[in-house]
Structure 1
Amino acid sequence: MRWTGPLESAALLTALPVPARAAASTRGVLPWAPLVGLVLGGVAAGVAALAVRAVSPLAAAVLGIAVLAVLTRGLHLDGLADTADGLGPLRDRDRALAVMRRGDVGPFGVVALVLVLLLQAACLAALLEEGAGWVALWVAVVAARLAMARTGLPGTPVAAGSTLGRAVEGTVSRAWLTGSGLAAAGVLLLAGLGDPGGAVRLAGSAALGLLAAELLLRRATSRLGGVNGDVIGAMGEVTTAVTLLGAAVLA
């Protein structure tokens, strides 16, 4: 395991300042993505928790999600839009991949962005009204990075022409992914979730988010031949949205 991985992961997955040499490799990006999620989720959750004391829960939810988008340079949102454009209209595999490589956003991408962001904000606002929504946001962000790390497991197919997909292929072992998930869960429990029932509900919500990401992965594999950078980002955004939705429903 590359111990420069945290810097490599932060260089690609965040807007945080890291040494330039850290961006020279992408091999450590996915193994350390859950650690990056702990940092990003903690900052976004903290902003939401502080903002809800001064503004409405909806405004606080929007601020929390906006901070997350800024800290990730909107990279995963861009991946969500491109993936929606590639998977949306009926077209052959090569054409779908070509559409995803273009810099513009089509109608399917716009609709996906609007709906996913609205769902995230609405669910987080409802959770913030209940008082512990900031923990749900933190859990959702970490679960999203676990879903992204999952694409680095050996045997995960890579879409043709994906430079990032090939670079991170097989970089995550099942033992490492399991250990990362357990470690992240332990940190989040120590962060102050004193309600065992709430912990179980959030664990169930995260499981739903990861299941949604798995379904998206299967669809991408069937349609595109495997994952690429856009699909990895889309899996993260879908996991966040579904985890928050599950938490709001189970609250």
Structure 2
Amino acid sequence: MIKILLSSENGSNNQTPIISIVGLGGMGKTTLFAKLVYNDNMLEEYFELKAWVYVSESFDVVGLTKEILKTFNSSAEGESNLNLLQLQLQQTLTGKKYLLVLDDIWNGNEESWEQLLLPFKHGSSESKIIVTTRDKEITYVLKSTKLFNLQQLNKSVCWSLFVTHAFDGKNLDEYPHLEQIGKKIVAKCGGLPLGVKTLGQLLRRKFSQYDWMKILETDIWRLSDGDNNINPVLRLSYHNLPSNQKRCFA
């Protein structure tokens, strides 16, 4: 991805190249790909302007434009006229090599996106936009130049990740009674690194069979939000399902 960002490849129709990262909630789109890439030293020197904006479910062109301006260190306080905001953004970006990350996109309204992205055509041709989303259809709406479609981790990698967090440097061979239970716990995570990591951390320094069986037999949804960060990730996915699919989870 860094190689792509440092390339001089241009988008089509004078559009800034858009690199899309697609994957289920908890796959590490933001944590692993976008943040590690965004903070890379080579990009720090390459781009004149950088901005990271969390989009999520709400999509308000005016609000998002103001947030982008603010993150580019250009104040837009008190302004609510979209034309004036976009003119200000255009002036901020004109001739500049910028990197913009739009994190966790849910809205696929093509007209709204076309409107939002208008000022970005005025930046340097070497500018780039990264977007993260759970919905592959959005990548077509955005006319993405490159697509990273993240797949779930395989069993052996999941187990290795779980062991790292649950045993925290201890020797796994000393706890043979927990290995079989642990592999069943990991299987429930469906290859999602966030789930594996969080459950591993829940069980860290808990080496009784009772504690592990309790986690194995507990529905992940019933774990309190204070104990883990899986629920918010899953809940957002659930709320954005079509109504006929929500019934499958009743």
Q: Same fold (TM over 0.5)?
A: no
Higher helix proportion (structure 1 or 2): 1
Higher strand proportion (structure 1 or 2): 2
